[in-house]
Structure 1
Amino acid sequence: MTRVVVVTGASSGIGLATARAFAGQGARLVIAARSAAGLEVAEGICTADGGDVLVVPTDVSHADEVEALMEAAVHRFGRVDVVVHAAAVLAYGRFEDVPGEIFDRVVTVNVQGTANVGRSALRVFRRQGHGTLIVVGSLLGKIATPYLSCYVTSKWAVHGLTRSLQIETRSEPGIEVALVWPGSVNTPVYSQAGNYAGRAGRPPPPVDPPERVARRIVRLADRPARSASVGMANRLTLFGFHWLPGVFDALVTPLMKVGVLSRDEVEPQAGNVLQPRPAGNSEYGRWGRHWLRPLAGTAVAVAAVGWKLRRR
Structure 2
Amino acid sequence: MPQTVVITGASAGIGRAVARLYGERGANVVLIARGRAGLDAAAHEVEELGGTALVRVADTAAAEQIEEAATAAEQALGPIDVWINCAFTSVFAPFDEITAEEYERVTHVTYLGFVNGTRSALKRMLPRDRGTIVQVGSALGERAIPLQSAYCGAKHAINGFTSSLRTELLHRGSNVRVTIAQMPAVNTPQFSWVHSRLPRHPQPVPPIYQPEVAARGVVHAADHPGRKQYYIGPSTWATVWGNRLAPALLDRYLARTGFDSQQTDRLPPSGRSNLYEPVDQEEGCDHGAHGPFDDSAHSRSFGAGLARHPALVVSGLALGAAAAAGAAVRRGLAGRS
**Residue aligning to 1:262:** 264
Deviations 1:22-77 (A, max 9, x none): 11000011110011222111111111111111111111110111111110111012
| Secondary structure of residue in 2 paired with 1:201 | coil
The alpha-carbon distance between structure 1 residues 89 and 222, as it changes in their structure 2 partners (threshold 3 A), is same
Match runs of 1:55-134 below 5 Å? 55-134=55-134
**Residue aligning to 2:204:** 203
For the pair shown, the structure with the greater C-alpha radius of gyration is 2
Gaps of 5+ in 1: 293-312
**Residue aligning to 1:283:** 289
Supply the distance in 2 between the matched residues of 1:280 and 1:95 (Cα, whole angstroms).
31
Supply the distance in 1 between the matched residues of 2:249 and 2:60 (Cα, whole angstroms).
38
Q: For the Cα contact (< 8 Å) 1:91–1:270, is it kept in 2?
A: no
Q: Which of 62-71 and 124-133 deviates more?
A: 124-133
Alignment of 1:232 onto 2:234: yes
The alpha-carbon distance between structure 1 residues 13 and 223, as it changes in their structure 2 partners (threshold 3 A), is same
Q: For the Cα contact (< 8 Å) 1:95–1:147, is it kept in 2?
A: yes
Match runs of 1:158-177 below 5 Å? 158-170=158-170, 171-177=172-178
- Specify the code of the residue in structure 1 equivalent to 2:255: T
Deviations 1:206-227 (A, max 9, x none): 1111111111221122211210
**Residue aligning to 2:218:** 217
Supply the distance in 2 between the matched residues of 1:264 and 1:289 (Cα, whole angstroms).
15
Q: For the Cα contact (< 8 Å) 1:209–1:284, is it kept in 2?
A: yes
Supply the distance in 1 between the matched residues of 2:213 and 2:132 (Cα, whole angstroms).
20
Alignment of 1:188 onto 2:189: yes
| Secondary structure of residue in 2 paired with 1:54 | strand
TM-score (ref. length: structure 2): 0.82
**Residue aligning to 1:153:** 153
Match runs of 1:236-251 below 5 Å? 236-251=238-253
**Residue aligning to 1:253:** 255
- Specify the code of the residue in structure 2 equivalent to 1:226: K
**Residue aligning to 2:31:** 31
Supply the distance in 2 between the matched residues of 1:269 and 1:245 (Cα, whole angstroms).
37
- Specify the code of the residue in structure 1 equivalent to 2:215: A
Q: For the Cα contact (< 8 Å) 1:203–1:287, is it kept in 2?
A: no
Alignment root-mean-square deviation, CA? 1.8
Q: Per-residue deviation at 1:78?
A: 1.8
Deviations 1:126-184 (A, max 9, x none): 12221100011111100111111111111111111111111111234420001011010
Q: Per-residue deviation at 1:110?
A: 1.0
| Secondary structure of residue in 1 paired with 2:179 | strand
Q: For the Cα contact (< 8 Å) 2:194–2:274, is it kept in 1?
A: yes
The alpha-carbon distance between structure 1 residues 71 and 205, as it changes in their structure 2 partners (threshold 3 A), is same
Supply the distance in 2 between the matched residues of 1:35 and 1:67 (Cα, whole angstroms).
18
- Specify the code of the residue in structure 2 equivalent to 1:263: D
Gaps of 5+ in 2: 299-337
Q: For the Cα contact (< 8 Å) 2:126–2:174, is it kept in 1?
A: no
- Specify the code of the residue in structure 1 equivalent to 2:259: K
The aligned length equals 292
Q: Per-residue deviation at 1:267?
A: 7.8
